[in-house]
Chain A
Amino acid sequence: MSGTRESAVRVGLVYPELLGTYGDRGNAVVLVQRCRWRGIPAELVEIAAGRPIPDSLDVYLFGGGEDDPQSMAAAGMIASRDAVERAWRGGAAVLAVCAGFQLIGHRYDASDGSAIEGIALVDAVTRAGPSRLIGEVVVDPAPSPFDAPSPPLPRLTGFENHGGRTTLGPGVAPLGRVVAGGGNGDGSGVDGARAERLVGTYLHGPILPRNPALADLLLGWVCGALPSLDSSLEERLRAERLRAGRARGLRKWILDRSLARG
């Protein structure tokens, strides 16, 4: 895709009433504003809960939600699965966070024995864990064949709050290695998943205001090479949050060592 577009970038915020518990709207706001500030027309399209998800969007944002809302969102996503997959295969980008990440996998096995079916854009299965993983997370992204046209992602910062344990299928690349925090939480030491024009992750914060490079990675997929944009304020925030994340990692390291010794 070339650097010029004829139509506005349509940033789709899927079911904000259901999948918006952790400031997920911020990801949509950041994408729209980073387009506009570069002179690229963009619009935020909210898909209200209960409505079909159209295949005409350029970016699909699936956010985090509580248990009941997550089941409701899953039902709507299953009903619109073909439209989402068609759009994604046709060039749209997908960012799925927390509950949204779980729902783009095959299924979520709840602690009460029930299962919520996902839309299976990625080969991943989530089960309810014994505890919630809560706190700052730092992730070192692996270089990916899907980075182009943007440079490889730098270290990412986020805040996690989830009880899920997600296991990726063989051959599915994670977003990156967890330096501090839980991430997928299944013992693999990684967070999220990557595929062509797709990022799944447990990182809230929301993730895009804290990691402008990831926002531009998504936009690069749908807009082509982007004009540069001053992100010094976002980078100050990112640096501060990375320090906070390392402090959590250090506390855990000391605790683990003292437990191992004791």
Chain B
Amino acid sequence: MSRASTRTRVAVTAGRATGWLSRVTGRGQGATISGRVMNAIAPGALAELARDQHVTLVSATNGKTTTTKLLAAALRADGRPLVTNSTGANLTSGIAPILASATGPGTAVLEVDERVLPRVVDPLRAELLVLGNLSRDQLDRYGEVHAVGSAWRRVAEQHPGLAVVANAADPHVVWAAEPARTTWVDLGAGWRNDAATCPRCGALLQWDDEGFACDGCGFARPPAHGRLDGDTLVLDGQRIPLRLALPGRWNVANAALAVTAAVTYFGVDAAAAAAAAATVETVAGRYMSIPLGGGRAARVLLAKNPAGWSEVLHYLAAEPGSVVIAVNARVADGKDPSWLWDVPYELLRGHPAAASGDRFLDVAVRLRYAEVEHLVERDPLAAARALPGATVHIVASYTQFSALYREFGDDRT
């Protein structure tokens, strides 16, 4: 933090401390309060810290940490001086110390919480936004998806010249990024249950294999510069295979978004960007392995909301092995786990399974009605040990995942 003023340094430290206090006392995630404290002490702190950086902001409901890491990998391989928040600290209090760690002018690739994004575009003088998807998340705290999309859209309306790389297949993202100078990439059909109505006019959206369209106002998937064809990104006619170490279709989509940004905005060679993305094996504890004893191991996956759970369950349905479903409903998870009933746990039929986490009884009842045989065990590691097989997948909600990461994570850099 040597380049920042004393006042800014104090502000950053106080902001982080307040955020920590907010989290440990269970009052919140510290998003709002930490930013307020930092701003009260040094109103220009973020702007001062970002002064010498070309800032790219990455946001989405799901995949923002991974997309950030993949984009950073592609830019590093291209030899750029870079700062990035690789651990998922995506609030103003988490961004500030990352910017302060820069030793000179360069590029900052920053993951930002989707509700924080509109507040930081101006102070950080962001030059590029990379926008993935928007879906239902923590309904009890954040409310409707449409409100987040509208807040993003106001940013685009106020900055019509701002460069954006965005997912053409997500109606909320298209609505948000339309007014900006946007490069579209079609990441394919994913979760569509939170986009039944047109974000522009409120009429019913029509969905088919080609995407969405509104009969009411003509709102539709925009023509895209890039699209996914299986595991291959087709970008301006060039075919770029994405052979990732990371599992799942959702990570192919994250990589396609990151590679599109690297190629179209930063001018990185496509093959080099894809090769750099392929080297990423773990992202802030996601997919980490925890030894269970006797040569057995648990692999940990994070699922934070219905869209994320749905992706993970489709992936696990095709993978052999036991599955622990570990769900908490603390403040940071959202206190209402009713989404359990929107997610196709029926896909786990035939897999040895366990209901786990603070809300293990909600999970157990859900699995009973899905007709998935299961153990009932609150502690996910005890559940994993009790299940058969060399590898056990633990799918964990946010705070459950964080607890496992704190205890067993080995890449906390």
Contacts and interface: CB of A to CB of B under 8 A. Distances in A.
Interface of A: 17-18, 20-26, 29-30, 33, 49-50, 66-69, 71-72, 134-135, 159, 161, 204-206, 209-210, 233-234, 236-237, 240
Interface string B335-375: 11011111000000000000000000110111011010000
B341 A209 contact: yes
B368 A233 contact: yes
B193 interface: yes
Contacts of A67: 144
Contact of A26 (B146, B203, B336, B340): B340
Contacts of B371: 33
Contacts of A205: 338
B341 A206 contact: yes
Contact of A233 (B197, B339, B340, B365): B365
A45 B203 CA distance: 23
Contact of B203 (A72, A134, A237): A72
Q: Which 5 A-B pairs have the closest CB atoms?
A: A26-B341, A23-B338, A23-B341, A17-B196, A237-B361
26 contacts: A17-B193, A18-B197, A21-B136, A22-B336, A22-B338, A23-B342, A26-B366, A26-B369, A30-B369, A66-B145, A68-B202, A72-B197, A72-B204, A135-B140, A161-B139, A161-B336, A204-B336, A206-B338, A206-B341, A209-B341, A209-B365, A210-B365, A233-B361, A233-B365, A233-B368, A237-B365
A209 B367 CA distance: 11
Contacts of A72: 196-197, 202-204
B376 to A, nearest CB: 8
B369 A33 contact: yes
A21 to B, nearest CB: 7
Which interface class (under 10, 10 to 19, 20 to 34, 35 or more) fits B?
20 to 34
Contacts of A134: 140
B338 A66 contact: no
B203 to A, nearest CB: 7
Nearest to B215: A50
B338 A69 contact: no
A234 B203 CA distance: 38
A16 to B, nearest CB: 8
B197 A23 contact: no
Given A25-B342, A209-B341, A236-B361, A68 B139 contact: no
Given A23-B341, A26-B340, A68-B197, A49 B204 contact: yes
A20 B369 CA distance: 18
Given A20-B342, A23-B339, 17 more contacts: A20-B193, A21-B136, A29-B369, A49-B204, A69-B196, A69-B197, A72-B197, A72-B202, A159-B335, A159-B338, A209-B362, A233-B361, A233-B364, A234-B365, A237-B361, A237-B365, A240-B361
B327 to A, nearest CB: 13
A25 B341 contact: yes
B369 A237 contact: no
B196 A26 contact: no
A105 B369 CA distance: 31
Given A236-B361, A240-B361, A22 B139 contact: yes
